[in-house]
A and B are shown apart, each in its own frame.
Chain A
């Protein structure tokens, strides 16, 4: 049997059909497809794929078990290091991580590692996983984790398995962070996938306290001095939306992507009026930005009934920061890309509603500090894109609440927490940080990787503390 150079395609909903519903776009491998894909793996001894994985899943080992049909062993292998495989298999940019280093990628397409991870996790979940609760030692040390996004969940999972009593504090009413409010249902199902994986952590023994805003309900100092926590991990993410600072941004119909996506994903506004949170989507929607959040916004708008959904991006297609797969899906669904276009004002009517987005055309100049070619305005190229909804997806910064209420916690000039890259150690003893609150907005798996490194550092810190 000769080895296929191409990945086994994953069944998907038809673009025309899925653009009108919130069900998951990708349907996942069947058992046959998963085994066939697993058979493509060459089982390299050096396993270069592993070095691309921020949490170093033993990829060849789990794939071998898939090939042989031992799904229980496969899930156990993955879960040794990754508590949220159904999530990671779906949302990791594998093309830049594990799959980038796959030897098959030199001649053809890499092994579909993400798809296989997803298959294994989904199979285990559908069978109903049995989780054994941790038997805590009477003198188990306590760790507080602030924020229940990918970084916090990774820290919690790792430390719980090491026997620490972990309590996660979450400001919203449901845990998951960006997995719940940011990434849409059609990429990452909430009740079926995210909450199930988080509930597995609960079964393990992790306590999750929702509706707790750290900096207000408790401060970090109170957690350590009054509530008896031996260490604290801060994983509060990059949740503060940036606006463009152009005229008309407060008109009705202008959303930050965070608000638009939170209404839709966390509050289930797509099920309004059955669910009480409303959302406004006009006939024509412009989403400003070119990252994954922008793609999510534009594709969500289509599903909420928009007739036209534009991506307005100031650079060209080559510079789009979004994942290739997301751009591809967006194009299939009919998203209209306006490249080399920068908004200069939001135009409104006398009742205060958006009627258009005033833009200028751009051309690319010399590369800037980020290495990407800098967009330069073309004189006299102004035009108005007729839209009635504008979603701003130009990035997020750190929410200052925890930093500003914690004594002795240093931040950098962007307001991110200053923490050691490999350990998450901050300027405050016993306090660790990781994920977007340290790096600025990045990816789910990088946040999880940071969480794993911090968990290891917290473990050594606590062992030392106990020995004293």
Chain B
């Protein structure tokens, strides 16, 4: 059982949990993830480690309530417990002094970009960060990203904060500028990562993305998370989750992510129905 030390609402339907997990905190490195289970009926869901505190023995998880399991997770309160939490899983981000790096985070993807940007900054890189969201109210981690970046560019789809653009627009401007960009790291929705890859490809700038395929065990025993990278099958949970963006087959990844769409809807309806039943019982 893993205690929720801090619960914080970051944006509508975006939550932060700081969870007591000393063994994971001791080992966690930027780019790694955990798998958790809310309760005994729960599925195993992967979440990237947004931060870790080795002294306190805690890890920070940030998630968006997008389906039944994340909604259930979001209903847990500070002081309550997660049933299962395993990690750190996956390979850590390769961090060294590259020169000038651009860290791109989209939506909830800003959270996992944060420890990477921090790591790159600590390694002596000039860090330019671009963070984007649909609108200002769901933009997270602005201050944290500012603190670890030499320059922070904000974009929103509706122009409510920063530049009214997609993250790829300022990225392209940077690539066109006099600056030599040595590396781009992008985390966000698959479609965003795909367009970041397409933006940097003509410039030949190495680009790393963190993939989020469907996972079950997260330890390499099932291959549910397999992705095609440079025509080769890789398991994102053990070979990744980070890969060379210019080699990833994003179309296949997106198709595979849609595999359980009808099930997800059915599960949400079932859980909602259960909750309603529960409420009825209380009113009697």
Contacts and interface: CB of A to CB of B under 8 A. Distances in A.
Interface string B3-32: 000000000000000000001100100000
A401 interface: yes
A399 B256 contact: no
Name the 8 nearest CB pairs between A and B, nearest first: A352-B255, A278-B263, A259-B222, A273-B270, A276-B43, A239-B221, A211-B86, A277-B43
B20 to A, nearest CB: 13
For chain A, what secondary structure do more than half of its interface residues adopt (helix, strand, loop), or is it mixed? loop
Interface in A162-212: 171-173, 181, 210-212
B233 A171 contact: no
Interface residues of B, number: 44
Interface residues of A, number: 40
Interface of A: 171-173, 181, 210-213, 216-218, 239-241, 243, 249-253, 255-256, 258-259, 262-263, 267-268, 272-278, 280, 351-352, 399, 401
A213 B256 contact: no
B223 A241 contact: yes
Contacts of B89: 213, 216
A216 B259 contact: no
Contacts of A250: 226-228, 233, 249, 252, 256
Contacts of B23: 212, 217-218
Contact of A276 (B42, B86, B269): B42
Given A213-B87, A250-B233, A401-B238, A256 B219 contact: no
Contacts of A251: 255
Contacts of A352: 252, 255-256, 258
B244 interface: no
Given A241-B223, A352-B258, 6 more contacts: A239-B221, A259-B222, A259-B223, A273-B271, A278-B264, A280-B259
A181 B86 CA distance: 17
8 contacts: A211-B86, A258-B221, A258-B222, A272-B266, A273-B270, A273-B271, A274-B41, A274-B270
Contact of A243 (B85, B88, B219, B233): B233
Nearest to A396: B221
Given A211-B85, A213-B86, A274-B41, A243 B24 contact: no
B172 interface: no
A173 B256 contact: no
Given A276-B267, A278-B260, A280-B259, A241 B86 contact: no
